[in-house]
Structure 1
Amino acid sequence: MVAVAATILPPGYPAYIGTYIALVAAILGLVAYGWSERETFAHPTSLAIVGAIALVGLAVPFVYRGPQDIVGPVLILPMLATVALGLLARPARWVPNPETFALICLAGALIALLGGGYEDVVLGRYRPGLGNNPIHYASLAAMSGCLAMVGVVASHRRSRYFFLLGPIFGLGCAVIADSRGPMLGVVAMSGVGLVLLTTWLWREKPFRIAILLSVAGAAVVTFYLVGTGNARIAGIVTSGLDIFRFTGGPDDIRAALYASALEILKTSPLFGIGLGQIMVPAQTLYPSLLAGTGLENLHADWANFAAMAGILGLLAWFLLLGAPLFLLLDARARQDRPIVLGALLLTTGQLALGVSNATFGILPQTVIYAVALGYFLVRARRLGD
């Protein structure tokens, strides 16, 4: 409960404080139950995470040029928080139910929206993030807001449809931060969530009404933003593609970073070139674009993993993205709607957000993914008890 609340509730810069609290809780879990509950490490989800760390670590001896290259596998060690929480499945006398988990997610997204809205409207700040990078702020709100949809299948009360506000709160934060990646992330997660919910609940009249109201609300907001001249909303698909191609605009910096990652894959396909050198090709190939920017990574998960560990790194990335889906290998978990919905939302969200942003590292974006996955791992392991 401490790990979940500390990771999801604090918005903006305080999210880092919550991250450290959650990591300390995870370390305590590993120390207390790492041996007695060691069978947790054999769970497919745990194996995927440990395997990803091992694959990135395997590349280090082949690319080592300095201490920074060793940091590569360290950056994904926070994912062990998933395993650490999974250790608590049997020793824990009480675990928050999915409705409580969803309430925390909904509250986290609402707090982020209120804080960001205050900075935007009252303080007049451009692309607010509550002290955090606006993209990171919006990514966290997008993930927590969409995970709130788990609450719709957590009970049979009519009030459960209020959890559909979660994606709206997350989208609001993304719009306030003027961040395209999180906007598309909310759309992707909401789409997956609504398909599942419609499959399960379409016969329920209150659900149909809630969906229609949500769609109508989203349409009104979209038309309003387009009418007020929000260029990123009006051309989100086109401008989103601009980060992958050279157009002569400000997004050429992103295009240069991603092009250098592809070049690394061509020249060093198996092991990459190591974390310490991932910026060298980009700065060498595109000095006019990247000189003086101070960038330390390639600004996307797939690019970072490919550059620091080549094909091994990409395999590690796919394992981390697939870790929630491995929960569904258990037939009992596949019968549990909160687990099914949560697993699909986590994989979809982390994939969508990581295409144009770095979500894996010693970051709140990594820890919210790891802790939420740890919560569902606990629930999956308790189904058989």
Structure 2
Amino acid sequence: MERQGYGILALLASVLAVSGLVFADIAPHVADYIVLIAGAAGLVAAIVHRDAILAVRPWWMLLLALVCLGLTLPFVYRGSTDLVPILALAPFLVVPGVAFLLAQNQPLLRPFSLPLLCLFGAIAAALLGLSEYLATGIARVEVGNNPIHYGGIAIVLGFMALTGICVGRSPWRVLFLLGPIAGMLAAILSGSRGPLLGGVAMAVVGMPILLFWYRRDLALVLTVVVLALGALAFGLTSGSSMRALSVFGEMTQALGAGGPSPTPDVYRTAMYQSALQQFLASPIFGQGFGQIMETVRVAHPDLPELATLEHMHSDIADFAALGGLLGLLAYGLIIAAPLANLRFGKARSTDRVVALGSALLATGYLFLGLTNAMFGVLPQTVLFALLLGYLIALRRNTDSLSTPPR
């Protein structure tokens, strides 16, 4: 009976992984619900078995982030809307459940299994986006999602597929480089600057790491160099790179430091300015989520479209305004949680998968969150929880923290 129980958990892990990665970008909410239900079941099982997965540092960092946000409530609470950030981050609770489930399915923890699913997800997103563009000619492809969310999820999946390069020595590993290509194609089709910026940041972090680790693998080095030169040529000859870099111009303008913005977005600049002002007005506890957008609208009656927005379209701006220093501390803990998986001085392929995946996950969400809310939006939050759970499970499997069930 016990073996049958673990078999059910292993099956749940397969459903969770395939749904949450392959369908994350093309049927996000269906995938989200499957991941959350399966992760909750895994969490219950982990608690029942008192599994060591409940003591991992990344999860406790996420819990501490929720505590930080909770500490602001007595000082900012004016209504139920102020509870939204904590409720929106509740998917973090299933992280150890996801890790526990994956730990019961050893084939999924082979270092190439999850990267392959990420690759399938990114390619599916790019192909469906290209199909939508060819069929409709729409300027911002969305594949049934919000364009910036579509592009951001595809970028994360595409670059997380890179971790498959860390497995073995087969020349076929270069196929995992199709992940970033598919992700960037989806980002371009989405017409959104944030995913492009996030992709560039993940490339700047991930590619040098791969080149350093595999500097003696001539085929891999040449492939990466050719792709990098092609990406550079594209960036210099198109407006995409300038649109992505304009994010920093808007932020420096909001901070009062000047700086040109080739394609300024007055709405984003107004929100960034308001976030700074709200932070300075209440630097410890912030204003509370229910108040931040009303403050922006009152300050900018000349921008009527602000009335349709629910947040400031920037994780840093949102956390700073709604929670002050405690909010920024919570945000820092969330971004840093994957890095708690890092371990130095090891050369095994699984260690490299964990190291590269952790660095890419933290970098991607940091830069994608500059121009849009990532944490608190269900698809992006659940994807973060799933990928972090996978990295925890892989690290656990490598370290043999506990005896696997028989």
> Letter of the aligned partner of 1:344 in structure 2?
A
8 Å Cα contact 2:267/2:306 also seen in 1 = no
Spell out, residue by residue over 1:296-316, the C-alpha distance to the aligned partner (whole angstroms, 9 max, x if none): 111111111112211111101
Rounded Cα–Cα distance in structure 2 between residues aligned with 1:346 and 1:177: 21
1:364 aligns with 2:372: no
Q: Map 1:49-128 to 2 at 5 A.
A: 49-88=62-101, 91-92=104-105, 94-128=107-141
Higher mean C-alpha deviation, range 303-312 or range 128-137: 303-312
Change (3 A) 1:206 1:333: closer
1:189-200 matches, cutoff 5 A: 189-200=202-213
Distance in 1, Cα, partners of 2:165 & 2:79? 50
Deviation at 1:72, TM superposition (A): 2.0
> Take 1:314 and 1:104, find their aligned partners in 2: how far apart are those partners?
33
CA distance in 2, matches of 1:13, 1:297: 24
SS of the equivalent of 2:356 reads: helix
Residues 188 and 348 of structure 1 are in contact (CA less than 8 Å); yes or no, is this contact kept in structure 2?
A: yes
| C-alpha RMSD of the superposition | 2.3
Bigger CA drift: 26-35 or 330-339? Answer: 330-339
Q: Is it true that 1:373 corresponds to 2:381 in the alignment? A: no
Partner of 2:303: 289
Partner of 2:176 in structure 1?
163
Query: Once the two structures are aligned, what percentage of the paired residues are identical?
Result: 36
What secondary structure, in the 3-state scheme, does the structure 1 residue paired with 2:211 have? helix
Distance 1:208 1:332 in 2: 22
User: What displacement does 1:15 show?
Assistant: 1.1
- 2:293 corresponds to which residue? 279
Give 1:266's aligned residue: 280
The 1:240–1:90 alpha-carbon spacing in structure 2 relative to 1, beyond 3 Å, is closer
After TM superposition, give the deviation of residue 332 of structure 1 in Å: 6.2
Aligned pair partner of 1:148 in 161, 177, 189: 161
AA at the equivalent of 1:200: W
Rate the CA distance shift 1:111–1:248 in 2: closer, same or farther, 3 A.
Answer: closer
1:347-366 Cα distance to aligned partner (Å, 9 max, x none) = 10010101111001142111
How far apart, in 1, do the equivalents of 2:24 and 2:224 lie? 28
Matched-pair contact (CA < 8 Å) for 1:243–1:251: no
* Higher deviation after alignment, 84-93 or 174-183: 84-93
How far apart, in 1, do the equivalents of 2:248 and 2:287 lie? 28
Q: Deviations over 1:67-124 (max 9, x none)?
A: 1112221111112232222334655555332211111111111111111111112221
Q: 1:45, 1:332 → 2: CA distance?
A: 20
**Matching of residue 3 in structure 1 with residue 16 in structure 2:** yes
- Note the residue ranges of structure 1 that are not aligned, 5 or more in a row: none
1:353 aligns with 2:368: yes
8 Å CA contact retained: 1:99, 1:151: yes
Q: Which amino acid aligns with 1:320?
A: I
Counterpart residue number, 1:317: 331
The question of whether the paired residues in 2 share the 8 Å contact of 1:12 and 1:131 is answered with no
- Runs (4 or more) in structure 1 with deviation over 4 Å come to 89-94, 246-250, 329-335
1:330, distance to aligned residue in structure 2 (A): 7.7
- Which of 223, 232, 245 is 2:253 aligned to? 245
| In 1, Cα distance between equivalents of 2:247 and 2:342 | 36
Q: Go from structure 1 to structure 2 and tell me whether the alpha carbon gap of 1:239 and 1:329 turns closer, same or farther (over 3 Å shift).
A: closer
Q: What residue ranges of structure 2 are gaps of 5+ in the alignment? A: 1-13, 255-260, 401-406
Is 1:174 the counterpart of 2:187 in the alignment? yes
Change (3 A) 1:291 1:107: closer
- 1:193-234 deviation digits (Å, cap 9, x = unpaired): 1111011101111112211321243245445x62xxxx3445
Give the length in aligned residue pairs.
380
Letter in structure 1 aligned against 2:52: E
Which residue of the partner structure matches residue 43 of structure 2?
Answer: 30
Q: Per-residue deviation at 1:379?
A: 0.8
Query: Per the alignment, do residues 21 and 11 of structure 1 end up closer, same or farther by CA in structure 2, a change over 3 Å counting?
Result: closer
1:384 aligned partner, one-letter code? D
Is this contact kept in 1: 2:140–2:147, CA < 8 A?
yes
Q: Which residue of 2 aligns with 1:138?
A: 151
The CA deviation at 1:281 is 1.4
Q: Shift in Å at residue 59 of structure 1?
A: 1.2
Structure 1 range deviating more: 148-157 or 333-342: 333-342
Tell me if 1:302 matches 2:310.
Answer: no
Give secondary structure in 2 for the equivalent of 1:288: coil
Residue in 2 aligned with 1:184?
Answer: 197
Cα 1:380–1:292 shift into 2, 3 Å: closer
Q: Specify the code of the residue in structure 1 equivalent to 2:270.
A: A
Query: Contact 2:107/2:113 (CA < 8 Å) preserved in 1?
Result: no
AA aligned to 1:341 is: L
Deviations 1:161-220 (A, max 9, x none): 111121111111111111111101111101111111011101111112211321243245
**Quick one: structure 1 residues 302 and 123, their matched pair in 2 at CA, closer, same or farther if it must change by over 3 Å?**
same
The 1-side partners of 2:174 and 2:104 are apart by: 33
